[in-house]
Amino acid sequence: MSAQPAPTTAPDPAQGLATPGQGMAHDAVLAAEALSLGFDGRTVVHGVDLAFERGTVTTVIGPNGCGKSTLLRGLGRLLRPTAGRVMLDGGDLASVPPRAVARRMSILPQTPQAPAGLTVGELVARGRHPRQRWYEQFSRGDGAAVADALAATDIAELAAVPLEDLSGGQRQRAWISMTLAQETELVLLDEPTTYLDLAHQVEVLELVQRLNRDLGRTVIMVLHDISLAARYSDRIVAMRDGRIVASGTPAEVITPKLLWEVFGLKAEVITEPTEGRPHVVPIGGCRVVRAVT
């Protein structure tokens, strides 16, 4: 498959994602082709076809344990496919050197780990590692990128504080800040709003929106709040049992029927007044959708 050229005009979000089985979208920067992922001989993600168009925000939704994080880890090359492949700019991601991958995409896992005693500033500076060579000092450009990332997540005043002394929400913002400092075109975020109060959730998602709109970053994230996902995404991918059930614009995907089929949730979907996006109103009565077994 040949490399995709950079777009000459702003991408049309409505053209963003191929539906399962349709292959790659026109300007897919990242794509899963018949991608299967699993652990210890057990398949968790089953033959997924998806294409993520350059310059769009896509959010993966689905019940606990359906394989969202596993899919994101596969897309970010933290997990090796058991079948199929991930394509970056039309080339097999498996054949791109790790450092080159880290210059193209940053990934924030669900439960990132850091060594004890590491300060916020040190953590965020680690985001610059893929951009530095072993013989180079931390440059002025690196310093500026770290300062920008700290400011964007509103934690500049915490730079000298060890991570373990932060609240859950502050720590989450520090990790997002590290991801930003990496300055990659592709940003993969697994539940970036975990631990955050509603104001900080909105703040993080507005930051994601700015990264996308102002800097042209392509964002793929996992969120549990479906209404926030609808509000801040161009495309929604709904998963259940390790398979893609639906993909498309928020209005196309987020319907009462889908919410029942995927989450076992009885809900109405209204249109929120500011941007006309779907908004989920649970109406009670649900069946719990079990994880993949």
Ligand X SMILES: Nc1ncnc2c1ncn2[C@@H]1O[C@H](COP(=O)(O)OP(=O)(O)OP(=O)(O)O)[C@@H](O)[C@H]1O
User: Residue numbers of the site for ligand X (CB under 6 A)?
Assistant: 39, 44, 62, 64-70, 291-292
Pairing of strands 235-240, 57-61: parallel
Minimum Å gap between C-beta 256 and ligand X is 21
Nearest residue (CB) to ligand X, 70 versus 218: 70
Minimum Å gap between C-beta 240 and ligand X is 9
Distance CA 22, CA 123 (A): 40
Minimum Å gap between C-beta 278 and ligand X is 20
Minimum Å gap between C-beta 31 and ligand X is 19
Nearest residue (CB) to ligand X, 63 versus 250: 63
Nearest residue (CB) to ligand X, 11 versus 242: 242
Query: Which DSSP helix (H) or strand (E) runs through 223?
Result: none
Nearest residue (CB) to ligand X, 61 versus 146: 61
Query: Which DSSP helix (H) or strand (E) runs through 146?
Result: helix 140-152
- Using the CB atoms, write b or e for 103-137: b if 16+ within 10 Å: bbbbbbbeebebeeeebbbbbbbebbebbeeeeee
Nearest residue (CB) to ligand X, 65 versus 169: 65
Considering Cα of 70, then 75, then 77, then 80, what sign does the dihedral take? positive
Residue 266 phi/psi, 5-degree rounding, is: -85, 120
Minimum Å gap between C-beta 174 and ligand X is 21
Nearest residue to 48 via CA among 244, 262, 249: 244
Minimum Å gap between C-beta 39 and ligand X is 3
Using a 10 angstrom Cβ sphere, with 0-12 exposed, 13-18 middle and 19 or more buried, the burial of residue 21 is exposed
Token pair in block for residue 218: 């392509």
Nearest residue (CB) to ligand X, 14 versus 291: 291
CB atoms within 10 A of CB 188: 25
Residue 227 phi/psi, 5-degree rounding, is: -70, -40
Minimum Å gap between C-beta 237 and ligand X is 12
Write the DSSP string, 37-84: EEETTEEEEEEEEEEEETT-EEEEE--TTSSHHHHHHHHTTSS--SEE
Nearest residue (CB) to ligand X, 43 versus 119: 43
Nearest residue (CB) to ligand X, 73 versus 131: 73
Minimum Å gap between C-beta 225 and ligand X is 12
